[in-house]
Amino acid sequence: MIMTQQQIALLVFLIIGGLGLIFLIVGVILALLQKRKIKLCQEMTHGVVVDYCYRGNGVIVPIVEYRVFGETYKKVRTFRGYLMKSWKRNGQPSVQVTKNDYLSISGGRMGQNDAQYMWPMGSNLSVYYNPLKPQMAYVEKVPERQSIVAIIFISLGVFLIVLSILIAYLISL
């Protein structure tokens, strides 16, 4: 069976556009879930740094233990992303949290001493939690901006949909 140019254009549109639609839907779902979690996590308590979690690539983040209604919970501090710099400026700390909630690591990997300097064992950190589901929480900061993963999925989805329309149009000429 031989396909016409219009059938090929439609097939290309459906495959690439369909993939784009899947990425777009996943991105929107991720964005909506984060927005819902932010809306629900409005109660605040204080937690204590009890341990550290190794995230890979030389990233160490604190594990915070907090109590709500007599129950104890643990939560890992998450960041919007990680900025790895291979150089370090004099006078600048090797690890810092940026105003946009990125963990910035200068001079290679983050060591246990860096984590202990940033979040000393036993130190207090704010925990924002959902009173109906206290295990749903943010440590230290409620995100002010959209998740990078959601932005990437939405952008890639839109790009693939536009690309599929463009390719289908060019094939059908």
Residue length of the chain: 173
Range of the structural domain that residue 1 is part of: 1-41+143-173
Q: pLDDT tens across 101-124, in order? A: 888 888 767 778 888 989 999 999
Direct distance between the N- and C-terminal alpha carbons of the chain, in angstroms, rounded to an integer: 21
- How many domains in the chain? 2
Phi, psi dihedral angles at 22 (to 5 degrees): -60, -45
CATH number of the domain within which 91 lies: 2.40.50
**Do 49 and 98 fall into the same domain?**
yes
6 & 58 share domain? no
Residue type (1 letter), 136: M
Place of tokens 């149009």: 169
Q: Per residue in 1-49, pLDDT tens?
A: 788 888 888 998 999 999 999 999 999 999 999 999 989 999 999 999 9
Are the C-beta atoms of 100 and 80 separated by less than 8 Å?
Answer: yes
3-state class (DSSP) for residue 11: helix
